[in-house]
Structures are given as C-alpha cells and as structure tokens.
Amino acid sequence: MPFNPMRQHFSAFNDQSDFKGIYLDSGATTQKLQTVIDITNRYYQSSVNVHRSSYKLASDTTQKFEDARRTLQSFINAKDHREIVWTKGATESINLLAACLPRSLLQKGKNIVISTLEHHANIVPWQILAEQYGLTLKVMPINDNGVLLLEEAVALIDEHTVLVAIGHVSNALGNINPIKSIITKAKTVGALTLIDGTQAVSHMAVDVQDLDCDFYVFSGHKMFGPTGVGVFYGKLPLLENMPPYQVGGEMIKKVSFKGSEFLGPPLKFEAGTPNIAGVLGLAAAANFIKSNRDTIVKQELALSRYLQQSLASLTGIKIWGDPQHKIATFSFTVNGVNHYDLASYLNIQNISVRVGHHCAMPLMEALGVDGTIRVSISCYNTEHELTNFIEALKSGICLFTNNSDSVFKNKISEEKAVDRPGELALAISQAKSWDEKYRHIMLAGKSFPRLPKEQLKEDLEIFGCESQVWLKCELIDSTLYIQGDSPSKVVRGLLAIIFEYLRGKRPNEVLDFDLNTHLKSIGLDRYLSNSRANGIEAVLDRIFDFCKEYSNTQN
C-alpha cells in the first residue's frame, strides 16, 4: 500500500486513535491537524482574554490573535487585515450579512439572486429578508445533471438586483461554479456579491481580490481547523458602512447614557469574547494548507480520478454534478437501491459517507431524487481506502437488489418476519452478531406492509430521519392500529420493531413504552447510530402525541 505523507499530520489516523474505519465524509467536516489540536490545547492550558489586559500573557495572546487575522488575510489574499471578521462559521457569516445589509438597499421591487445548488444556510436568510422587505428571490437554474446553466443564470441578474449569493463549490455535488462570470455580471448592474467558499478553501487557492467579490465566507472545521470558528470577508468600505451585527464588549469605542460609539471593522462585528483557541487553530490550518497546497491538490486529483473511474465502471450508478469542474466530492444514486439503506450497510463495514439531502432540499427536488450518497475525499485518504469502499459498495448493491433474496432466505424464513407478536424482537435478541441482526431487520423491512402511494402525504410525513417516513395512527375498538412506510428497507425494518410491540395496545399502555429499554432488551441499543435512533424517537413521539390526544379527550 503506497504511503500517503499527508496522513502523518492527522491524529485520527495514528494507531492510538479510536477511529479505525474509512472516513469519506470530509465535506461534512474534515479531520483535524495535530498542530491545530496542539495549539488549541496550549491556549486552554493558560487562558487569557484578548484586547482587554496589558499584562504580558494577555498582550502576547492578543498579538497572536491579530497575527492570525493577518494569516487569514494572506490565505485568501484580502487587501487589508481589517477585512477579516471572525464568526462561528459560514452560517453565521451569511446571517451577519443578512442582518447588516444597509436597509436603504432593500426596497420593494428589488431582487436577490441565488442558485438551485445552495446549502440551506445560503437560502433561508435571503427568503426571510425578501419576505420582510418585499423583495423577489430569483433562483439560477441547473441542467438535469445538476450543473449551473450559466447563460440563464447571469440573465437573471438585472438592474433591480441587490445581491447575488452563490456557493463557490456545491456542498452536495462538488461542482465548481463559474463564479467569476457571475461576479462580473453583478458588477455591471451594481449588485453586491456573496460567495460561500466553505467547500472551496481546503481544495483550491482562493484570491478574493482576483475574484473581486464583495463578500466571501467559510468555516474552519472544513479546512482541518476547529469547529465553531469561521471567516466573514468583506471589502473594507462596505464593512465600514454596515451597522454592527451584535453589540456588547469588544466592539465598543465609547458608551454613555447619551449614546454609544462603536469601533471600526473588524471589531465592530465581533461583540463579546471570541473563540480565541479556534482562531489560533484556524490560522495553523490555513498555514498548513498554504504550505502544502501543491501536495494536497495532487493527492486529491489522483484520488478523484481513481474514484470516478471506479464508480463509472459499476452498473446502475448515477453520478450527479459536473464531471469536469469539481472538487474531490462525488454524489451518486444507485438504480433500485435506497441511498439510506446503502449507507447503513457501508456503516457496518466501518465506512463513513454522507447520505440524504445534504442540507440542499431544493436541489434534490430539482434533480427528482430524495437524496444521494456523497463521498467526499480529502488529502489524507488513500487509494487503498477507496478500493475497499468500492468493494463494499458492490456488496451492498448486491445485498439490496432482488438477487439478494436467497441471502435472506438462507438466514430466516420470510413468512416469520413481522406478523407473529414478539417474533421479530426475539429473533433479533437471539442473533449472535450484528450482521445477523441486520439481516433480520432487512427481512422485516422487505416484507413490511407498505402504505398506498396516495396516502404518502405531507400530513403523515415525519421529520427527524435521514430517510423519509410516513406514519398513520388509528384507534380500532379503543386499541392502536398503526401503519407506516419509508423508501428504506432498514427504516421499514425498524418501524416493524416498534409496531410489533405497540400494535393492538390501548393508548395508556402505549404511553408506558420505553424505547431505550426495548432496544437494549433486544441488543440494538449500541448498534443504532444517533440519526437512526433519533428517527425512531421521532416516529414514537408522533405515536405518543396521538395517544395523548385521545387520552385527553377521555378525561
């Protein structure tokens, strides 16, 4: 197995780490550099505040804090260090701009332009702003594969456009958007531009002066740095003319009961004690990326080519997005196989991928899918890991296709899956391995009675699962009758576990049910991920609400 020199910088991959699997979810968050961990730990060993005290330790820490600002200035080639504002991350940065845009710009009849590809964090603030001020929200279209239609996109930007907000790279698909052309068009009509660079900064060099964007935002945790810290870049004249985001300590020049004066940027936007350790760690991450840029790009390019070729060789795989202009992120679906089921199987193989809508529901709706599997690579991954992933993917696809029926029948008789009271719970509790428990759940999901399509309506849908779930509760002769459905066999199997126990009970008996105790009794508590356990709890909460409502009417 070829040695990847990048791995030695990340403690997650050393022999002492608790993580022993294959991590392919760097688009959600990257693993942390050992230097970042060391720097943040060092700060907490002798903590002081910044910009407040004059003794040596405080003065030295303040100097390091402001040196970090200059490090990030250099990292994105900002013109002035005062253009770097510390935030909690890209989400807060976008909300900062939405809160601080001069209200004189937000006149009825104006518009804000975003794209179909955006993360929810770059959609919802603009929806709220548009509703509050009578603006129109325009959405740049994409083609059937999820690639921005540039000609149609720039045509939406007109003399009434106040702001264009678009991601540098799609978090869901990995597309690199043609933002320079969009920025150029926006400037011709006097519109401001916000670029969400969260998925870009760890994969490519970013030069905000060359882009000539007005604002650029990103998060530290997706570039090998700490969580809870990020950057809001804005051109200095714009920052000077914007009001504060929050008020309090740190950003005050003078306070009296006659009125208050605020400091200039960036401190004007940094009320309260900042995430000092996070800022120091973020600077270390930025220095690492800048110093190793060529190696990072080369490693990720080689891995991307290998993975793209490997995925393309599999039958039934649909890779979404731009195959040419992309970072090392691949979002795909498999014909006839639910993405949640496949990700659940990969999890059993200790392979971490992201599944679902990736906080981009409008994009998934435009593509006509309810979610994808996203594999996001970073410089610390290896070809060997990707080979193992592809082999596991092949096995999972085989397992979930019709050809896998015989595999299930070898383990248990299909007719015993759900209908006999307690039999499913008993079979799972007696299973000697997780693989066997999983097969029982799969078989239960395969034979689980489905709801008619016409009943799959919004009022029956439950949120809190990675996969869609619908639930219908009724009382027949004062006992509970429940039906449910999900595209996922695994989720349907988990529903079967709950339904088997609760079906036919009276509402007061249902309310005595304890999910954690039940899962523990059948040996599932330590196998369920938080997302799946939370999904079951969401279903159970809906059942409890139904039973409580009935009980209240009887009192």
Adjacent-strand bridge partners of 111: 136, 161
Integer angstrom CA distances of residue 414 from 146, 398, 402, 429, 442: 40, 19, 14, 18, 11
Determine the Cα–Cα distance for residues 374 and 97; give it in Å rounded to an integer.
Answer: 29
Does the bond joining 266 to the residue before it have cis omega, within 30 degrees of 0? yes
| Structure-token match 């248990």, residue found | 412
For 247, residues 6+ apart whose C-beta sits below 8 A from its C-beta are: 260, 262, 271
Number of H helices and number of E strands within the chain?
Answer: 20, 18
Instruction: Of 109, 142, 114, give the one whose Cα is nearest residue 127.
Output: 114
Residue 359: active-site member: yes
Give DSSP secondary structure letters for 99-154. Answer: HHS-GGG--TT-EEEEETT--GGGTHHHHHHHHHHT-EEEEE-B-TTS-B-HHHHH
From 359, 465, 473, 547, the catalytic residue: 359
With tokens 């019709």, the residue in question is 402
Element (H, E) at 76: helix 56-76
- Own/partner pairs for 384-390, CB < 8 Å, 24+ apart? 384/1, 384/2, 385/22, 385/24, 386/303, 386/306, 386/307, 386/310, 387/310, 388/22, 388/349, 388/351, 389/22, 389/24, 389/346, 389/351, 389/353, 390/307, 390/310, 390/311, 390/314
Give the Cα separation of 423 and 433 in Å (integer). Answer: 18
Q: Which residues pair with 113 in a beta bridge?
A: 138, 164
Give me the active site residues, please: 359
